[in-house]
Structure 1
Amino acid sequence: MIRGKDPAEQLKGEDVQELVEGNKEFDRWLKREKRISNYPNASYDREKRRNELADIIKGITNPTLKRIVDELDIRLQNVEDEKVEILQDIREFFEKWLGIPVPLSGKASKPKDLVIQGELSVMAQAKEEEKKEGAARCIGRIAPTLRSPSTPGEFTFWVEDSEHIHIEVGNLVTAHNRGVRVTGLVTDLQAVSDVREVLDSFYAHAFGRPDAELPTRIPIVVNAKAEIVRRSDGRMEPIRGNWPVTFATAKEIREAYGAQISPEHEVLAGFTYDDRKDPVPIGLDARYVVGYEAAHINISGASGVATKTSYALFLLYALLAHSEQHNSNIASIAFNVKEADLMFLDNLPTWEDLDRIKDHPLWKFSVRLWRQARNDYGIDPIRWAKEKRFQFFAPKHFSPDGGVLSRRSDSNVKDFCYGLQALIDAGVGALYALFDPDDLDEKAVALIASMGDLAKRESLTFEQLINKVQSAMKQRKGDWFELDGAVHHRATANKILNRLRHSLENQLKGVVMKVENTDSPIPLKELQPGQLWVVDITQLSDKGQRLIFQTVVRTVFRLLEDRKTLEITGRLGNSELKDFPRHVVIFVDELNKFVPAGREFSVLKGEIVEIAARGRSVGLCLLGAQQLASKVDEEVLANTSTFAVGRSHPVEIQKSLYGWLAEGLKQKATLLDKGWMLLWHTLHNRPVLVHFPIPLHHLKREIESRIS
């Protein structure tokens, strides 16, 4: 290992190999710290830096790290423009990793604007820059003006008037100046000319003849505003001068959105595209998704666009892959709330099937992204399905014939139902979900709490509990009676008992057992790291959905809390929770149904809101999706580290909740296609537009339907 070596000591053969060969110390540093990895040309970009360092070493007799640094300083003084970035990456390796400072005595240490001199015009110089090997195509220049000054947070630039350059809101661009690179997100675009009024254009066009061709073409100037994502020198100052602007390269994008995320914590969140139109991965930090630093993801978007659930599933796959590759002990539970989509996610094509359609215009982009996700991040749902990592649960059918309340009813689907004791074990709050919100005033809540305490102490069924309450009411005359040491009103008890019977016999029939002690709750203690469980609640009433969701969330939270306590005290190895995951991600669509905004349902949602606030501390991540994020409880959103927005309604996107989006990005959000999301993560300085592939089980259905 080179790190820690005496700078004056002569390098041995194996030391030189660590500097110039692939998958050695310098190469690994480029992958880890400079994020030159996981995009199509990453290996070539690393090779250029290794070759440059090898060329430096080759010219030194008896090389030492100090002599390499001295030669590096000389080259930085006389560097050609296209090599500035390469040499500065090498310098950063010596300074930040090896701890050997480079003097920087030459012109490379004093960046100055690329001033246009002599007979070269701005675009003539741009064309010269294009000829340099590896240089990105210059598309325009920064233009600080009185009306649009450059600031530490944004810059404005004009774009070459060319039909070959297409720039959109959401594109990533980079301004360059002698090795300093400022990467920005395009948030606004305008096209203007020197024509003052529409009337002038009308008269100039042969008095309003649209088919007439003008003798002289009126120049159209496109100007764009970009919010700064990253500046390579780390300075917080405005750009000074007319720096050239290019579309961002893969390396620049990876640095901009991954500088604070180490490879062992990176979770794939989708892809954006570089200057070559190649997919570039965008990552999240697992510690800020599943805990313990922060947690929770929220996805919003219009209904019927088939994007929210698809993207949530892609994120679940990415987290499972991270668990497998980095032993992070993550498992997932997904609630199938609408349709039956998630219940068939194990019905997947083979990789050979995907190879056969890799050039099909409809599916080639998704196939490419799935391939890249598997090769670079280990995301392989096809293999996981074969290994039976996906398990499916559905409510027990209330009919005498049995079965499950689900559109899928094969042997891979396990039924579940709950008795009173199983609900109490999840927390007395689970009993509140048996009632409608309007029934839960303070008197009703107090009575239900007494009923829960009595049932827990005496291990009662629902039928026995109802009989106990009725017996207590008969023992005393008047309006009041005593239950479990507390006094309650007879009218409250009659109302609660009537509502309880109605729920058990109608709304919750089959899923909640009234008499029998033969319930079979979802066996959450058996959940293993790397697994994805799907719980189908589509056939249940809103009350039933709320009951199962809250019961599962409460139970998982308690298990994670117990596991962490055992781990901290050193007793985990001998406990029944030793194989339980360290982190659990719970996905649910229509989150606003379970934790709505405002004070309504306060008794029903209170504990879930508290769990969301404390979830990161025990490793619980709530991955919620909904059409309108403004309808979700503010406390849940305030504790969320990652937001994704798909196509949204114009009224919704203008609400203050979306203040993290610039106005141009809000307009973009109303027009997003399927497979695209605007993503913000707590470690990203700015949002980013990400693309994700069609879910594999959807892909199989589409292939079969079109081929048949």
Structure 2
Amino acid sequence: MRGAALVPGAAPSPVSDRYGTMAGVPADSEHVSQSGGQPVGRVLGTADATPLQFWTAVSPGSYLQLDDVVVTRRELPGREPVTIAGVVTAVRARHEGAQFDSDVFAIADGMLPAQVQEAAEITVTRVDPEVYVPPTPGAPVLRATGSLRDAALHFDRMSRPVPIGTGRDGQPTYVNADFLDGTRGAHVSISGISGVATKTSFATFLLYSVFQSGVLGVDGVNAKALIFNVKGEDLLFLDHPNNRLDAATTAAYARLGLPAGPFPDVRVHAPPRAGDSTGTPDVSSRTTGVDSFYWTLAEFCAKRLLPYVFADSDDERQQYTMVVHAVTAQLARLATPADGGISLDGVRIGDYGTLVDHLVDQLSDEETRGIWSGSAVSLGTVNAFARRLINSKRDLSRLIRGDLAGRRPHEINTSESAQVTVVDLHNLPDRAQRFVVGVTLKTEFERKERAGTAKPLLFVVLDELNKYAPREGTSPIKEVLLDIAERGRSMGVILVGAQQTASEVERRIVTNSAVRVVGRLDPAEASRPEYGFLPPAQRQRVLLARPGTMFVNQPDIPVPLCLEFPFPAWATRHSEAGPPPSATLRSITQSADPFAVVGAASTDDIPF
């Protein structure tokens, strides 16, 4: 998508260097550039113009709105002209000739001579060549379109542009894939009010664009996505077309160079229903193609998963975490598989509740307490551990099983799954959600570490990031997420995190996100320093942003871009779901899972 640099009156020529140029801005304001420029005004002479910001007076009969892209040229003695491009970040209009506020009435009645003058503040996005001089007052300013717009927004520098929506001018807007796949950066942070900012909708659209645009090349075939569904059953129908899709939405996808359709390859996992000995997936609206996930007691002990039981309240300053690690080590050393459950201290244990009771008995007995918790731990600390462990029985009993071992595949493994793996958590209590997220991320990250290569890529979409990686304290989940944020790029694990409040998320996770996206924000949240990348006008606009409008900041472009992304082409609830693709039907038909069919219902949650 490299734009050609055009000289007025000359034929298009290819970009002369690897960065592209912005030549072709005419000195005459009456001229319309062949490269995509239309005169809209001149550089203002009554306000300071700097190399990074200036004002332009808008010509009569023309207009500029926020987010418009403009370009001007500065002539220099003895060298080539400098082309200066920027984005409109403020617009004002005033009466020239008025002295008092009440003059507006006399001017409106024709009794006082005055004229209306509009002016726009321009924040510079690109200078070519890089000679940082201010534009000359009176120099013509053009509305940038075509290749001039691409150059002004650095799209011509992107060898692999990913379409993410349309700008205020209705033209496609892109993000550089180099900052998504770890080539030059990685990770995405999406912030906004729950239910209004459409964070999850944008995250899924971003995935769809990455997979369908072809920017990953041959690596895109094997790239995977892991999505945690925490709100309703909205994300269980990604592989079903949206029956509300109309011609206008299809055309919006076509403008972005994308097909309008569902995700072609999706696999859904859900927890077993509580109290169901058959392990039927606990979903109501999707009728086919859902697999149960759980962990056997043997896996729970051997893989040292006990710390994730305490992920809701763990803090290394609390001494009971010493007991957690001591008991975890003992379980890994002593527990052995036995008839679907485990054998521990000569006792056969077949379910999680029995395991908890056995551990509490061992910790309550003075003779065995030191073996399981360590001799230096006080009784009060042991009791604190025991209370929390007992409270976990109700939440985790259906996830840690001894009665389903060997009956079906139950592991969440993206490397052997579909292109998109959806893990449904919405029916689980908070403690169980944290356990599933923590254990799944730990397992996937360790699997990527063992593979020793960044390919294929794994995109992890996690909502409510402020719950799993809060700014204060520590927990096993937070440590895994920090590991992904700091080392995931080198191993091909890309975090797409969404949260209501970025100010409450661990700083290292937010700062390691190369791409930051903001939807509708609460006024108090918008004033936080985490949103310092937003210009003052955009900080006000995020308070009014409607669903589907996002502000995207990326390293290539110094000003966040305002864009709208199209309505999902995949179903976002049961009532929107059209027939699944034939590929999905074939995979269901061939499935050996006898529990793939569950009950049907619907949900009213929609992203827009």
Alignment of 1:367 with 2:255, yes or no, is no
SS in structure 2 opposite 1:182?
strand
CA distance in 2, matches of 1:530, 1:173: 44
Equivalence for 1:668: 541
CA distance in 2, matches of 1:422, 1:380: 42
CA RMSD across the alignment = 3.5
Please say which of residues 546-555 and 464-473 is displaced more in the overlay.
464-473
Task: For 1:161, give the aligned amino acid.
Answer: P
Alignment of 1:214 with 2:126, yes or no, is no
Tell me the CA shift for residue 413 of structure 1: 1.0
Task: For 1:685, give the aligned amino acid.
Answer: P
Map residues 77-476 of structure 1 onto 2, 5 A cutoff.
82-83=8-9, 86=11, 89=13, 93=16, 96=17, 114=27, 126=29, 128-130=30-32, 136-145=37-46, 148-162=47-61, 165-176=62-73, 180-194=82-96, 195-202=98-105, 204=106, 213-214=109-110, 218-258=114-154, 261-263=157-159, 265-272=160-167, 277-285=169-177, 287-305=178-196, 307-321=198-212, 322=214, 325-328=217-220, 329-349=222-242, 357-358=246-247, 364=248, 366-373=249-256, 376=257, 381-382=261-262, 384-385=263-264, 389-400=265-276, 402-423=279-300, 428=305, 431-434=307-310, 436-437=312-313, 442-459=318-335, 461=342, 462=352, 463-464=354-355, 466-467=357-358, 470-471=361-362, 473-474=364-365, 476=367
SS in structure 2 opposite 1:636?
helix
Task: For 2:39, give the aligned amino acid.
Answer: C
TM-score computed with the length of structure 2 as normaliser: 0.81
Cα 1:436/1:325, change in 2 over 3 Å: closer
CA distance in 1, matches of 2:266, 2:242: 15
CA distance in 2, matches of 1:83, 1:261: 24
SS in structure 2 opposite 1:593?
helix
Cα 1:251/1:474, change in 2 over 3 Å: same
Task: For 1:191, give the aligned amino acid.
Answer: A
The CA deviation string for residues 252-280 of structure 1, in whole angstroms up to 9 with x for no partner, is 232233457543x433322325xxx4422
Number of residue pairs matched by the alignment: 551
Alignment of 1:589 with 2:463, yes or no, is yes
Task: For 1:170, give the aligned amino acid.
Answer: D
> Greater helix share, 1 or 2?
1
Unmatched runs of 5 consecutive residues or more in structure 1:
1-30, 37-44, 50-80, 98-107, 115-124, 206-211, 359-363, 569-580
Equivalence for 1:57: none
SS in structure 1 opposite 2:232?
coil
Which structure is larger by alpha-carbon Rg, 1 or 2? 1
Cα 1:224/1:414, change in 2 over 3 Å: same
CA distance in 2, matches of 1:112, 1:692: 31
Task: For 2:508, give the aligned amino acid.
Answer: E
TM-score computed with the length of structure 1 as normaliser: 0.70
Alignment of 1:508 with 2:418, yes or no, is no
Contact 1:473 1:482 in 2 (8 A): no
Please say which of residues 213-222 and 450-459 is displaced more in the overlay.
213-222
> Greater strand share, 1 or 2?
2
Percent sequence identity over aligned pairs: 24
SS in structure 2 opposite 1:174?
strand
Cα 1:296/1:526, change in 2 over 3 Å: closer
Unmatched runs of 5 consecutive residues or more in structure 2:
76-80, 337-341, 343-351, 579-603
Task: For 1:188, give the aligned amino acid.
Answer: A
Contact 1:129 1:135 in 2 (8 A): no
Task: For 2:8, give the aligned amino acid.
Answer: E
1:614 counterpart (476, 487, 490) = 487
2:382 counterpart (490, 493, 497) = 493
Task: For 1:270, give the aligned amino acid.
Answer: G
Cα 1:191/1:703, change in 2 over 3 Å: farther
